[in-house]
Structure 1
Amino acid sequence: MRVSNFLLANSGVQNILKQQAEVLTTQDQISSGKRVSRAQDDPAGMKKILDLESVSATNDQYNKNIDTATNQLFQEEYILDSMTNLLQRARDLSIAAGNAGLNADGRSAIRFEVEQLLSGLLDLTNSVDGNGHYMFSGYATGTKPFSITNGAVNYAGDQGQRQVQIGTGLSLPISDSGYAVFLTPKNGNGTFVTAAAAGNSGNGVVTQGSVVDSAALTGDSYEIRFTAVDTYDVVNVTTGATILAAQSFTPDQSISFDGLQVEILGQPQTSDVFELDPSQSQSPLETLVNFISTLSATQSTDAEKADYQIGLGRALTDIDSAMSQISDVRAQIGSRLNFLEVQKDTNIQANIQIETTLSTVRDLDLTEAISRLSLQTATLQAAQQAYIRTTSLTLFNFLQ
């Protein structure tokens, strides 16, 4: 009998404790608003919750990366816009410098302004971001990319393009190296560049020329050599072959060969030579250095005056090439900014869906929980009353 009473009492206590635990669990759920707060609440559900929260946190980090990338690209766009304005001013000055009525003082004033533009352009190419990193040095963000020494432009960066992850398996460039932006434009007309030889004596001015048959291009260097004031030869300097011999010369008339075409204005003299070489990469800094050199040259002889006009033509063409390259980079930046906006919205929508799924797995149905708590409380009270009645039943109760 004693063993039976003990077992009965112990069973009642265990039942009460179980009911109390269920009540406390439900109360905690109502208080937190969550059905699953610990692994023991629902092991499978908790694993799914942790997985979803991890994905959501990753998407949040992607969006932080997108904000950083957006700020970086906006800053680069602002700098490139400033460069474009600066080069446009230099272009205007190259046209103004060709005014026939411009005297030495006027050229000096233009040269001074171009020197200021060169200084400003150099500063812009060495711009730093909010973290003090050089923006156009590629991966070498601690290295100042551009310098000018004795008229020579030097680039100390690399060709790296920094990227940031903005989605699962998705990265986007957030920078452009100085090499890509400033060292890829070609001088001259983009295919070949013209110049007058140093020993010329006439006032002949060779134009920048154009390509009339791309299939016939050789990539070689050429010279137009005047054997008389009205006769010239065209020689392929690379191969040594004479392409055209004893050709009659008429000022302003087109001269065409191997897919190339130029005009020579004015009147060259016997032994004058005009050179055509393949275009080379040239930075806008070098273009302004050359422009300043042209403005600084004396114009005492016909040949010097002709060189001046050729130099101005080169400056105008090279500035246009630099501006075109910068425009292309700005278009790429615009495309990246648009893509960042779309991807950020995608990440936000993904997190909204994740939050919906999380709510289904993790959050509590409050109405159901309150009903369950009411039932559990009633069950606990019943268990407690049953325990009291059971433990008070002894032989003495029946004898009374």
Structure 2
Amino acid sequence: MTLENYDPKRPIVEQPSSSEKSVPDAESGKVDSAVSQAEERLCDGRSLMAEENQNRSPGGFGELQDTDSDESRRAKEKLARRAEDATAENPLSAEGRSHSSDDQVSEESRIRTRRSFLVAGVAAGAGYGFYYWSQHARESEMQPEPLREAFDSNAALSRFLLRDRVLAPTYPLSRAEALRVNGVAGVKRPLIIESYRLQVVGSTRGLGDPAYSADVTGWEYLYSDAKAHEDPGRDTKIDPKLASAPRMAPAGALDQAMAREGRTEQRRPRRGLEEAGESRSTLGPGTSGLLLTLQDLQKLPRHELVTQFKCVEGWSQVVHWAGFRMMDFLELYPPVPGTRYVYMETPDGDYYTGYDLEVCRHPQTLLVTEMMGAPLTQLHGAPLRLHMPTKYGYKQIKRIGLIAYTRDKPDDYWTRLGYDWYAGL
């Protein structure tokens, strides 16, 4: 019913709309309540208009028509506002909006759930694909190539951030202790110290130097048959049950090889008898260089350090070291221009390591001749070993027989067995 057809004497009866007719019985009470409220408000408005007309028109209905325009308009506006309020308070409208909001949330949840499962499936497939690819990729030094490349990437990042110049912590002498023996590759037979020479290849000091030799590989190291009284320890980096363990040469393998081949000045004994085999960087016969004695090395300034030796197996010890800084050695016997790496190996070639030239110039890199205030023992690498507190222990070669400067990245014993070439801490 519109306000223009409003008759005060006519009873108001609201007809339910088509939407209201379809309301379930459970909601009928709410609808009746809302309709009743609207009817009461409309009746109140009708009574109000009748009272105002009587007060303002004592002369009858004719005068009411003359004064009806303003009052009637205001009454109609009040009724319209009350009707809108009643409609707004209708519980069906709020419940409808609530149902609509719940439906939207449910639909959004379904979309997000499907999307999450899709992303998880793709991620799981990609992870499995990467694992399968990495495990079936071509091997590089006993590691899948992707993992070997990851080693190299980590090394490059470490070089960029640290520049091989960060100093390792030092400790008071009271904390130092004797270093345990762990790994005897290259030092199994006692060396006669008087026969020791350090071969140096790739230095700018050549023909004019008193230590120059046209073939440093022809030098003969002498060994003693006496048994060492040291505990040889046990290298735990390799499980003895592994299939590779039987390939490790027994202590007398070099003696057997020398007996089979014979020893002459022109022919060296068989090299690389340990598990990793012979180094690809070992010197060929006829290589010229320097043959330095211990007296030559003692011309260098002596330095002491109390630093930590860290093994890749997870143990560490604080040790007192003494010897010569590698950076001083490089100044006295400088490498030729273009050198990027330093290669070292034991006199028998059974153990070998490679380094960046920069880490050899680190102020804490020592050519060690003493440990814990005494000369090195045989199983600790007498007469000369390396200490690098910025590297793991397997890079700290014992009994150095050769130092060669090179432009090419040199071979490394443990890298050939799957370990990291850089081995930085």
Q: TM-score range by the shorter chain?
A: under 0.3
Instruction: Select the structure of larger CA radius of gyration.
Output: 2
Task: Identify the structure with bigger relative contact order (alpha carbons < 8 Å, sequence gap 6+).
Answer: 1
Q: TM-score, normalised by structure 1?
A: 0.27
Higher helix share: 1
